[in-house]
Amino acid sequence: MITIFYKALKQINSSNDINLLESLGYDDILWIDLNNPSGDEKRSLEDYLETSLQTRAKAEEIESSSRYSETENAIFANAEFLIGGAEDYKEETVSFILSSGILVTVRNSLLRTFSEIEWRLMANHRSYATGYHLLVAILENRIDLDADMIELLAKEIAQLGKRINQEEKIREELLYDINRLQENSMTIRENIIDKQRMVSSILKSDKFPSDIYPKLSVMIKDISSLLNHIDFGFDRLEYLQNTVLGLINIEQNKIIKVFTVVTVFFMPPTLISSIYGMNVELPFAKLEYWGFIITICLMILSFAVTVLYFKRKKLL
């Protein structure tokens, strides 16, 4: 679907009619948004702008030249936008093309950022004089949403820490939860670094209006702050992971200790019973009934001595 935002009667109008391009000039159009576009829509737009749109495979490449590049007539940029899920995040590649002051965005999913920017554009179009200003506004909004994701992640990490302190028995599910949060942290960090590369590339360009660069400098500082927060969260997850592994090892050691102590307690009685199981002449062997009683008493006595020894050594 294509949405064209154009200037008319000192206000911004929108239309989904691709044929409208034939009657509009470059100065009339501010933004063209392509959401899961058809082949005909892409070709019509390419003919109108006299440039080629990037393929999805090209947009998803991680090389610097693929993430941001400039030609004589256009600027091409690609960024990953995160879509929050129940347990993990999905990345959606968004392509940006700036040509003749017109911003073109290509995506394949509904994104909250674009809905909010559309609403702001309709409410106060004077704040977005050109497609360059719109691009910066989209990046600002996306960085704000990334900050919200980091805050939610930090809350999850804090709740996980409380669970570890409150639960009497450490379960393996805690390790799975920690691993999930670690994966989410790395995904968010990669996504923020992707924005950092894009904003840094824009700062090096001389094609943007001069009033945009102060905003870009602030965005770079915000991104650095977000990276510090996500790094702290990841370090905290590593600490929680080590804590859980340590507690699991302690529980396992307790179990092994119980089996070891029980084995040691029964070693002397087992030795005595083994000796009296031999087919040889032994003390008390001919006493029949009293011999059996004496043997049992010796086994109980050896067991008691072993228990007292362990208690005296504070091994129990």
Q: What is the DSSP letter of 280?
A: S
Question: Both 129 and 182 in a single domain?
Answer: yes
Question: Both 238 and 272 in a single domain?
Answer: no
Which residues lie across from 102 on neighbouring strands?
Answer: 99
Instruction: Please tell me the predicted confidence (pLDDT) of residue 84.
Output: 76
Instruction: Please tell me the predicted confidence (pLDDT) of residue 191.
Output: 87
Domain end among 248, 280, 303 = 248
Question: Both 190 and 270 in a single domain?
Answer: no
Question: Both 13 and 37 in a single domain?
Answer: yes
pLDDT along the chain (316 residues), means of 10: 80 79 79 83 78 66 68 84 77 85 85 85 80 88 89 88 77 83 88 88 86 89 90 89 83 82 80 71 66 77 81 73
Instruction: Please tell me the predicted confidence (pLDDT) of residue 282.
Output: 64
Helix, strand or coil for residue 259?
helix
Question: Both 39 and 122 in a single domain?
Answer: yes
Cα within 13 Å of Cα(1), Cβ side: 8
The dihedral sign for the CA sequence 179, 181, 184, 186: negative
Cβ proximity of 76 and 104 under 8 Å: no
Question: Both 54 and 146 in a single domain?
Answer: yes
Q: How many other C-beta atoms are found inside a 10 Å radius of the C-beta of residue 230?
A: 24
Domain of residue 299: give its range: 255-312
Instruction: Please tell me the predicted confidence (pLDDT) of residue 66.
Output: 63
CATH number of the domain at 218, please. 3.30.460.20
Total number of domains in the chain: 2
Question: Both 75 and 102 in a single domain?
Answer: yes
Q: What is the DSSP letter of 19?
A: G
Cβ proximity of 7 and 30 under 8 Å: yes
